[in-house]
Amino acid sequence: MPGSRGFDVKRYSVFAIAREALRWHRGWERAWATPEPKPEYDVVIVGGGGHGLATAYYLGKNHGITNVAVVEKGWLGGGNTGRNTTIIRSNYLQDPSAAIYEKARSLYETMSQDLNMNVMFSPRGVMMLAQTEHEVRGYKRTEMANALQGVKTEFIGPERVKELCPIIHIEGPRYPVLGALWQARGGTARHDAVAWGYARACSAMGMHILQNTEVTGITRDASGVTGIETSRGRIATRKLGLVVAGHSGQLAEMAGFRLPIESLALQALVSEPIKPCMDVVVMANTVHGYMSQSDKGEMVIGGGTDGFNNFTQRGSFHHIEETVRALIETFPMLSRLKMLRQWGGIVDMTGDRSPIISTTPVPGIFVDCGWGTGGFKAIPGSGWAMAELMAKGQPGPLAEAFGLSRFREGRFIDESVAAGVAH
Ligand SMILES: Cc1cc2nc3c(=O)[nH]c(=O)nc-3n(C[C@H](O)[C@H](O)[C@H](O)COP(=O)(O)OP(=O)(O)OC[C@H]3O[C@@H](n4cnc5c(N)ncnc54)[C@H](O)[C@@H]3O)c2cc1C
């Protein structure tokens, strides 16, 4: 593990598993410490989701800043990080997006080794179906943009789609499959493990992971931020990162500024487990649905967001109906499946469907939000970029285009096609 200044963490290895097997698994230790809050930290990150934890990790790993607290009101990954459908891809249209998502995707390739935690990264391939002529043209354009950006994608025809995913009905009467944008090294990962892996590595560096600690206020003086009020008392800091996804508007309000963010519920559901029948991820954006199969055999299904702003972190019946109805023409086998569970998360949407990694009107406060329906895939890239911004006070190349000033200056990074429904 990185450094030995913090919580003493033993490496996970095949030898550790063998050793523990011999002593009835009684020697495993806690993955991260549960300390009392200190009165002051060099940096405080609000939000113990993937993005907040990755920011803390790269502050330590890349910039040597370890007097850091991550403050989470619930449990680690209990927000969107533990509620998403785990799709990882980087086939975005605009250059700044492709750069940060591809950086993230490439960090996922070695994350298990880097964090010494099996995050079950599974680059099984992601296909985005083209089911209208408009989509065919759009995805061919993205394929060319990706070629120039160094992101490997390919537009494939319907026969290849069928070969890669035999359960797809490609001759649907309303929405026949005309092709797909295929990213062979896209895929999925285990979302909780990503949060746990970063938390464990942060704790090993001596950082404080403070769960069940809600931020209720932000204090400032004439020169900038001075600290936070929490359910466990006041904590002083001169550098504060707000990384709270759908709650970004509320935290910004505590700090005295506004963000161009809307909060919406996004839902997903899983079917009963069945035998392996699909070893790729398929997204069907025209009909608003996407699907993959989990290692347990459940079909993991997601749809679009609610059509109105809200903070309801749970599922609703009309969404199951809408999403399954949308997918059934393309996947007729779904009509025979029972649905097991559904849930929701609160996503943070910007007008141009691109994230915000930025300084704010309050000196010392930084925000990382606006990842909307598609930020799981971005976690390592976002953490890398946000840590650089917080350590240096100004954005590096990955974050440069994602500042708040773009909304005033009209420099939008329009990803509504890549990210409107797709995840
Ligand atoms: C149903 C669904 C499906 C999705 N599918 C995908 C997908 O397939 N691929 C993909 O890339 N993305 C997907 N996403 C989006 C992705 O989950 C998010 O973009 C990402 O997880 C955001 O991570 P985060 O760390 O910014 O936020 P979160 O994980 O939400 O973490 C923010 C944390 O801040 C905490 N917090 C809030 N307020 C306070 C406070 N006052 N004090 C202390 N802590 C606070 C919350 O408790 C929360 O844990 C999906 C999202 C949902 C809901």
pLDDT tens string 32-90 = 999 999 999 999 999 999 999 999 999 999 999 999 999 999 999 999 999 999 999 99
Reply yes or no on whether the pLDDT at 359 is more than 50: yes
What's the pLDDT score for residue 420? 47
Q: What is the rounded CA–CA span in Å between residue 91 and residue 129?
A: 13
Q: What is the rounded CA–CA span in Å between residue 281 and residue 290?
A: 8
In angstroms, what is the span from residue 170 Cα to ligand 1's centroid? 34
Mean of pLDDT values over 192-208:
97
Is the Cβ atom of 375 under 6 angstroms away from ligand 1?
yes
In angstroms, what is the span from residue 77 Cα to ligand 1's centroid? 7
In angstroms, what is the span from residue 80 Cα to ligand 1's centroid? 3
Band the pLDDT of 192: cuts 50, 70, 90: very high
Mean of pLDDT values over 386-398:
98
Nearest CA to ligand 1 atom 4: 84
Quickly tell me which residue has 């930020």 as its tokens: 375
Pocket test for ligand 1, best of 84, 231, 262 (most atoms within 8 A of CB): 84
SS3 410: coil
SS3 132: coil
Q: What is the rounded CA–CA span in Å between residue 241 and residue 255?
A: 11
In angstroms, what is the span from residue 97 Cα to ligand 1's centroid? 19
What's the pLDDT score for residue 288? 84
Please give the model's pTM, rounded to 2 decimal places: 0.96
Is the Cβ atom of 81 under 6 angstroms away from ligand 1?
yes
291 touches 282 (CB < 8 A): yes
User: What does 6-43 look like in DSSP terms, one character per residue?
Assistant: SS--PPP-HHHHHHHHHTTT-----SS--PPPPSB-SE
Band the pLDDT of 319: cuts 50, 70, 90: confident
Each residue's pLDDT tens digit, 133-179: 999 999 999 999 999 999 999 999 999 999 999 999 999 889 999 99
In angstroms, what is the span from residue 422 Cα to ligand 1's centroid? 16
In angstroms, what is the span from residue 346 Cα to ligand 1's centroid? 7
Q: Which atom of ligand 1 is nearest to the CA of 346?
A: 53
Is the Cβ atom of 78 under 6 angstroms away from ligand 1?
yes
What's the pLDDT score for residue 419? 54
Is the Cβ atom of 370 under 6 angstroms away from ligand 1?
no
Is the Cβ atom of 51 under 6 angstroms away from ligand 1?
yes
